[in-house]
Each structure stands twice: as structure tokens, then as C-alpha cells.
Structure 1
Amino acid sequence: MAVKGTGILVVEDDVKIRKLIVLYLEKEGYEVYEASDGEEALVAFRKYDPCLVILDLMLPKVSGEEVCKSIRADWKEEIPIIMLTAKVEEQSRIEGLKSGADDYVTKPFSPGELVARVESILRRTNQRCSKITYRGLTIKVLRGEVHYQGESISLTQHEFRLLYFLMMHPNQILTREQIIDELYPHNEKIVTERTIDVHIGKLREKLKWDGDSELIETIRGMGYRFVAYQK
């Protein structure tokens, strides 16, 4: 089963191959970012901070090996990297692994098998990737950070806990009562449903969503829902 809310960067200069990989990953519920060359890959990696990278070995501008080494040198040892290549020689595979790759897939390959390898690696490493990502919005639980479209967002403690609670229950309706219990577990003071509405309003203002459907949806007479993906 796919780890929902997990961001993956796919770096591949062949458009057809890249789009096929993206299609299979998104079908399994992953948040996928794309890059077509080594320079784009490094920019996208720093912007989106993914939990896993699928990286073609032979890339324009900056090679896959150099991208891999740069990621490893950038204090990101915990980020798993799957290397893709058309080269079948043993020495090429060894060089890829030495550059920091965790796995090696030779072209042509089965997209289903690649997804299976992704899932296998994430089962082993996902606890070290303590972040949730949907639609360009990432919350880093241990660091207490929120990033939206690569930009840092400053939230209050209650706003952070509210967003985390919503993102932990993607596409689920949460009542105001449930949110009150989560944000104010000991109920030290009287908290009204209006307080939750105010928190939601401020959170929406800071996220400034401009897409077709808002990130936090109001369900009239029931509560709120974080719209992680369209069903």
C-alpha cells in the first residue's frame, strides 16, 4: 500500500518515460515532482525536499552521478535514491551505487516493478522522512516547519497542530468538535466552534491557495476537510 502524502522527485530527460513513471506513482497516491535535467533536479530537490528520488544516470547539463553526489553532500544521507540507466555493464552499476544510489534499475523496466521497489524502500526508510506532502504543501513534523510551493510558511502553534491534524486525515470530514478535542485536549478554558473557524480562516489566508479547489474545504453543517487529492 502506498504511503499517502509522500513526495517523490522523478528526474528523467525522456519525456515519455518520465510521464509514465509519474502516472504510475500518482495512481498509487504519491505526490510527484518532475525534472528533465541535472540542473532542474538540484533546484527541485532543494525546493520540494522529497522523501525519495528516482534519478536517471545520463542527464543533460549535470549527470545523474553528480546529482546523486550533490544530494549526499548536502546533508541528505537519509533520502533514498533509485538510479535509472540504459547501461547494463556491471561497472556502471557499481559506479552508480558508489555515487550514493540505494537501488539500481536498468532500462527497459516495468513501471509496476519500479513502484514496488519504491514502496519497499519507503517501508524501510519512511520513519526518517517525517513529513507529509500534498499538492505542494509540506509539513515537517519534527522540525515544526511548513513549506508551500517551496516557500516557508510561518504558523502559530495552534495553526500548525490544526494543519497537521487535517493532513493526517486527507479527504476526511473532521467536525469542529473533533478539532477542538485535538487542539485543546484538556479543555482548560471554554473553546467555542467559532474559535476553530477563526483558526481555519487564518490558516487559509497564510496558504493563499489559487488553484481550482481550495486546500481546506468547508462542509456545511459538518466541519472541514483537507482536500489532498481529487477522487
Structure 2
Amino acid sequence: MDQAKPLPGYLVQRYHGWKATGYQENQSWYKQLARGGQHPRAMVISCCDSRVHVSALFGADQGELFIHRNIASLVPPYEPDGDPHGTSAAVEYAVTMLNVAHVIVLGHSGCGGIQGCIDMCQGNAPDLEEKSSFIGRWMDILKPSYPLVAAENDPEIQAQALEKQSVLVSLRNLMTFPFINSRVDGGLLTLHGLWTDIGEGSLEVFHSKDQAFHAI
């Protein structure tokens, strides 16, 4: 493998800074984590967006959250077809191996993946329609929900509405996994839908009682 290169200098410097401070001051904690394995109480399915800092949002330390990130925080439906499924594998591991008590789907404002879905549905993203587009085929999971927001004329409101719909799509798809369905029915696992506004630092949670998101 001749293409792999050394890390950029600024990342090397940041690592050494962390090793000399953050790690040095908490050596016993890190060694305990290494010896005892991981026992997170919750899994968070979040977007890859670099602005979504899941651990900071919940004030979580290492070992507290099992975090899986993908484009637009989407979960595909249960489909054991023998093909590789990264998100489904992460869900299976968290639920059946780590026995997390909570699975949280976290959407966010200004999501580029969601905007890509909107552009596709409006005929403005021919590149994403190509079969070779991994992003486009991933956003096909959400496309059937676009008609629910299509009538909204304000682009920002429309995007936020579809961002929240993507959370609901993922929650519904999670329930198609037999090992999740049985644990939810048995009271061993709870599902949660959240949406955060990056600029405002606000957090909303979906309430099934009225089928709406409410600020925490």
C-alpha cells in the first residue's frame, strides 16, 4: 500500500498535546477502560457532519456512548441479504452484543445529505441519480418521505421538516429489526428521536403522544 502518507503535522501536534495533558491526567481511567471493555448505556446514530459533536452535546466521557455516524443519520430497513451493511452491523452489535438500553437517532439542521435528497426529488441533482452515486442510493431510503414536505415553499423550513422526517424514517426502520422489535416490546430497549439546531445549540425530542418534536 504505497498511497498511505504520514499524518498532517497539525494532527500530530494535537495528538502529542492530548497525550501530554488529557491522557496524562487521566491515565488510570483510560487503563480501566482498556481492561474492562466497553459498557455504554446508549447508542447514538448521528450524521457524519463535523459540526455535530455528539459527546459534547450530552457531556459524555469515553465509554458512555456507542456512536455510529453516517450520511443524514439514516437507518435502512432490516435486510439480511448477505451484502455488507455498515449501519445495520453497528445496530446489531450495540443491541445484541453490548445490550444498550437506548438507541437514539439524532438529526440536525443544515444537513447536506438531506439537502441532496431534496435536490434529487426536485430534479436538481442528476449526479446523485446515477446508479454509481453512493450518496444518492443512500438517500433513496428517505426519498419516499419527500411528498410530506413538498408543499412547503420556504427552503429552510422544508429542509428542517425533512431532517425531522429522516429521524422518523430511521425509527420506523429500526423497528423492522427483529432483535430490536422484541426488546422494545419486552421493555428492555427504548428508541428516541432527536433533532438539534447547530447554530442555536437547541435540542428537540420526538413525542409519540402528539407525533411532534418538542424542545427539551
TM > 0.5:
no
More strand by share: 1
- Bigger relative contact order (CA 8 A; separation at least 6): 2
More helix by share: 2
- TM-score category (smaller protein): under 0.3
